[in-house]
Amino acid sequence: MAVLTRLSVAAVVDGKYEYKTDENGNRKKVYVPRSSEEMKQFQDIVIKAMGYNENRSDQVSMECFPFASIGEIEPEQALTGFKMVQKEYGRTIANLLLVLLLFLFVIRPIIKTVKDIKTTVEQEALPGPEDMALIEEEEKEPEFIEMDGKQQKEYLELMTGEQKEVFLKKMSASERASYLTNMHINEKARYYAQKDLYKTVNIIKGWISEAEEEE
């Protein structure tokens, strides 16, 4: 196996760059070399990293020079207009645009879809034409001719005397027939007595005659 007899390491570090103002008030970027204390600190780091061995006569060389080219070390220029806005608020504007795009293309379609689903569910929950017809039939009050005798009596009792008299006079033929059919015999006699006294008398005479013949 190979044996390491001596290790030589050369390391370079970049200096610092500072802005200084010249006599004309212009700010320029100037290269500033590292101090001796800083170079000693970097050298100690390299020595520890390489496993320096003095008995092996290892060598360490530390140098400091600018990594940037001369063309890159340009004076700082004051930004104006759009460039200044881009530098100061570029990230904020980008975040706002991202939020806007997220709302337009993600959140807004989701909200619209949820509303459409809700509307569809509500429409499906509403009764259809057939159901509405059944509901209307259930809610609709029965006609007078559709009522039985008890219902007709209760219906008329809700009216005042004048209203009942007007209603009886304006009855249609079918309503009058239904009313007379469901009417109790005593009420029927009273009705005919009020309606047609002569006819009532004849009916009573007929009843008397039938009763005498049976005897």
**Which position has the token pair 């007007």?**
166
Position 18 scores a pLDDT of 85
Query: Average of pLDDT values for 23-37?
Result: 85
Say which residue, 184 or 77, is predicted with more confidence: 184
**pTM greater than 0.85:** no
Q: What is the DSSP letter of 22?
A: -
Query: Average of pLDDT values for 189-193?
Result: 67
* Helix locations, 15-107, DSSP H: 36-50, 81-102
62 Cβ contact list (under 8 Å, min separation 6): 11, 12, 13, 39, 42, 43, 46
Q: How confident is the model at residue 66 (pLDDT cuts 50, 70, 90)?
A: confident
Q: Which helix (DSSP H) or strand (DSSP E) does residue 23 occupy?
A: none
Q: What is the DSSP letter of 28?
A: E
Position 37 scores a pLDDT of 93
DSSP 3-state of 33: coil
Is the pLDDT assigned to residue 91 strictly greater than 60?
yes
87 Cβ contact list (under 8 Å, min separation 6): 79
Position 194 scores a pLDDT of 65
Is the pLDDT assigned to residue 71 strictly greater than 70?
no
Q: How confident is the model at residue 132 (pLDDT cuts 50, 70, 90)?
A: low
From 88-97, 122-131, 163-172, the region with the lowest mean pLDDT: 122-131
From 101-115, 149-163, 174-188, the region with the lowest mean pLDDT: 174-188
Q: For residues 64 and 34, give the distance between their C-alpha atoms in angstroms, rounded to a whole number.
A: 7
Say which residue, 45 or 2, is predicted with more confidence: 45
Q: Which helix (DSSP H) or strand (DSSP E) does residue 192 occupy?
A: helix 185-195
Q: Which amino acid is at 215?
A: E
Ramachandran class of 34: left when φ > 0, alpha when ψ lies in -120 to 50, beta otherwise: beta
Q: How confident is the model at residue 41 (pLDDT cuts 50, 70, 90)?
A: very high
